[in-house]
Chains A and B, each alone.
Chain A
Amino acid sequence: MTQKIIQIPTLNDTPEDFQQLFEMSNQVNGLFEDVRFDFSSCRFLRSNAVAFLGGFARLIESLGGSVIFDWDTLRSNSVRANLCQNGFAGNFGYNAKAWSGHSIPYREEMEPDMNEIMDYLTFSWIGKWVNVTDRLRDAISGRMWEIYSNAFEHSGTEVGVFTCGQHFRHRNDLILTVVDFGRGIPAKVKAFLSQFVDEARVSKLSGADCMKWAFERGNTTSMGGVARGLGLDLLKDFVRINQGKLEVYSNDGYAIIDKEGERFDNCSISFQGTVVHITLRCDEKLYRFYDEAEE
């Protein structure tokens, strides 16, 4: 069997960078592919790319293929240091132990272990970098749980959920990316609506249409007589209040919520799964509760 070599480019977190990641994942379509990731062209790798690559590697393995990250091709010392620090390198064959720095640990969740994930969000993510009251820290972690809840409950992922984050000192931004390789939001929305509406009409819904529907309060693909559909709604309210940014890429749909409002778009390159990429501003004044006195 021939080995497929995939070049990892320099990857930031703009929509174009995400498109590059999706294009890369589309290079592996079959079962039992042996893939070698080559870092020769990579000079910078943001945490969103780290979470995506980790999940993608596990997806290939789950399909019976093999994955090698070719650490000898990695020329950038800063990328190497970052990947060692956040634990990604250690997870994929490089002999290095993670350490505590500005990285936020790379994580793979096979099961929705609530306490483990909440500890990560509370103490390794928000609690590690943002100097806020415990009450506010807890409130933010609770909102972030909504992302995991959606990923585990709705995506049908068989390879788990992958997370990485980073704190940027200069801008004081805190980032979290959560990736799953499940069905994707547009696919789930279409499958749900097809139970009630002619499939030919439902198939005309674009990725952007489906994302918009999913982001509306109370809309849910869950059945069973319990009102749901608040997770994305609570999350987008939270991001808006705190002048952050929430981006969701799923199949051919894209949603962005920021201080300008909410926009939905179609992506030229589709991928099977969902990426939630959230940027919070670490300005304590933005997060203060109404009843917390000014100091």
Chain B
Amino acid sequence: MKLSIKEWVGPRCIIKEDGQKIYEVIHGLLKSGETITLDFNGVSQFASPFFNFAIGQLLNDISEDELRRLLIIENLNESGSMVVDRVIENAAQYHGDKDYQKIVDDILEQQARESD
């Protein structure tokens, strides 16, 4: 299946609502193993909220290897590619269950060291 992003959301891939729209179209198909091509021809502006929702959240239940095998991205310019790469990297490392206790302890420890 090939999806023209310009037809679905227009020339700007910016907001999360548009990203969610694309996610809802492709998520189930990718889960069932279908190959999908996202064609960005005619899209010129990009921001991370769109890609977080369109692509990043696919990694919640699809492995990165599987996603790279099934999802083909075409005609995405360098600016958009940079954002997608960062979004995939970030989503692959994302854990909803971060150890915030340790994070705060580390910050306060550092704060104490700096004030010595």
Contact = CB atoms under 8 A, between A and B. Distances in A.
5 contacts: A118-B14, A138-B44, A205-B111, A213-B103, A226-B60
Interface of A: 112, 114-115, 118, 122, 134-135, 138-139, 141-143, 145-146, 149, 153, 193, 196-197, 201-202, 204-206, 209, 212-213, 217-218, 225-231, 233-234, 289-291
B56 A226 contact: yes
Q: Which of A139, A229, A234 lies at the interface centre, i.e. has the most chain B CB atoms within 10 A of its CB?
A: A139
A146 B48 contact: yes
B108 A205 contact: yes
Contact of B111 (A118, A135, A209, A218): A209
B91 A138 contact: no
A122 B79 CA distance: 15
Interface residues of B, number: 34
A206 B104 CA distance: 11
From DSSP, what is the main secondary structure of chain B's interface residues?
Answer: helix
Interface of B: 12, 14-15, 44-49, 52-53, 56-57, 59-60, 77-79, 83, 86-87, 90-91, 93-94, 96, 100-101, 103-105, 107-108, 111
A138 B45 contact: yes
Q: Which of B45, B79, B93, B100 lies at the interface centre, i.e. has the most chain A CB atoms within 10 A of its CB?
A: B45
From DSSP, what is the main secondary structure of chain A's interface residues?
Answer: helix
Q: Which of B49, B53, B56 lies at the interface centre, i.e. has the most chain A CB atoms within 10 A of its CB?
A: B49
B12 A234 contact: no
Contacts of A205: 104, 107-108, 111
A106 B65 CA distance: 47
Contacts of A135: 44, 77-79
Contact of B108 (A141, A201, A229): A201
A290 B104 contact: no
Contacts of A149: 15, 47-49
Nearest to A223: B96
Contacts of A141: 45
B47 A218 contact: no
A197 B100 CA distance: 7
A227 B86 CA distance: 11
